Amino acid sequence: MLLTSNMFADQHLEEEYQVSPETGTMPTGRTARASRAVRDVVFVDGVRTPFGKAGDKGIYAGMRADDLVVKCIRDLLRRNPSLPPERIDDVAIAATTQTGDQGLTIGRTAALLAGLPRTVPGFAIDRMCAGAMTAVTTTASGIAFGAYDVVIAGGVEHMGNHPMGADADPNPRFMSERIVDPAALNMGNTAENLHDRFPGITKDRTDAYAVRSQQKLAAAYEDGRIQPDLVPVAGKKTGAGWTLNSVDEPPRPGTTVEDLATLRTPFRAHGRVTAGNAAGLNDGATAALLASADAAAELGLPVRMRLVAYAFAGVEPEVMGIGPVPATEKALRQAGLDISDIGLFEINEAFAVQVLSFLDHFGIDDDDPRVNRYGGAIAVGHPLASSGVRLMNQLARQFEEDPSVRYGMTTMCIGLGMGATVIWENPHHEHYGQDAT
């Protein structure tokens, strides 16, 4: 779905109503005209908590998932004081495991806990890893249609409180009717399957890619490019008192290829996927502020990106990591663009093999400077449903730094065999808002 008003200027939902001269009443037939044009959707701002390691030793051990989301919502309002809270039309928050502190329609409960007016509704979303990305595209569609002016969309995953797949009860038909291979229910196995399908993606390549991810994140931290969008979170550890967590916990900036070569392959004997070339188990939350272009101008809100197109696609669950490829092809067709038009890529690094399969398909080098300039999930972490907005935050900041880039992309694979891609336009580019053709 291409969300650009200039391409939809001539497309209207028309219904014609004519008052009867005999009765003076409006007939039920389609006789008068009303139109609804698709509106431009802009990314105003995005924040996230520092990402932590899941488990008893992680920075968020003992904390609630919904409290992490609340901190993000409150910080969005603090950063954008010209936005009256009552102007927020909806709050969409994603979580993969929707139970306990991630349940009870978390979009609504987080809105209430954050102190938004009770007139502001909210809802929950689950599309596994693409939860926050789906929260953005779903509410963006509402903005484009005219149902909303301003929304908050994001996601949370506390994998320490809710381990991946905990309490899940897959229908036995998945196995008995061979709807999917049993390996499809374990994401690590699907990554090993990708290695099988693409033997040119060796373990050496994935380890080298993982090391570069760590190096790029370390450089971005050193240059102060990550910190501006982080919401500090206070945490208390037994016997250690309170700590203000202001940086991500997972990164290992000194990692070398030699270090990764020694790691075990937990998903397959003599396999290729390790803890070093895959994202870890993490806790964290994100939230983004989206608006119509008109509402942003009215309220004095900044415009950091404009939504151009988005697409979701399904693939074989056994090789779910290939999902970004068809999703990207679909989004590019909708936008009328080619892969060469994309100047920046933010690809979620669930597994290095998954990113490399995407790059190989589109003929992009492993170390192309357009790809994940600040590093990715292998270094910073991947709290499942929250990660989509992290990609957007990083792309928006890169747009500000590099006005020569007109279009950028956020893309990710999704459990059970899906992919998601969103294409964005840089408002700092000289041709911003003009017809791409």
Active site residue ranges:
129, 382, 413
Say how far apart CA 183 and CA 172 lie, in whole Å: 14
Say how far apart CA 175 and CA 165 lie, in whole Å: 17
Beta bridge partners of 377: none
Q: Is 226 exposed, middle or buried (0-12, 13-18, 19+ CB in 10 A)?
A: buried
Beta bridge partners of 314: 418
DSSP assignments along 340-401, one per residue: GGEEEEEE--SBHHHHHHHHHHTT--TT-TTB-TT--HHHH---GGGHHHHHHHHHHHHHHH
**80, containing H or E segment:** none
Task: Enter the tokens of residue 400.
Answer: 């500000």
Q: Is 84 exposed, middle or buried (0-12, 13-18, 19+ CB in 10 A)?
A: exposed
Say how far apart CA 205 and CA 398 lie, in whole Å: 26
- Locate tokens 């495991």: which residue? 97
Task: Check: CB of residue 93 under 8 Å from CB of residue 107.
Answer: yes
**296, containing H or E segment:** helix 293-299
Say how far apart CA 363 and CA 341 lie, in whole Å: 13
Task: Enter the tokens of residue 222.
Answer: 């050193």
Closest CA relative to residue 66, chosen from 133, 131, 137, 124? 124
Q: What is the dihedral of CA 313, 317, 321, 325, to 10 degrees?
A: -30
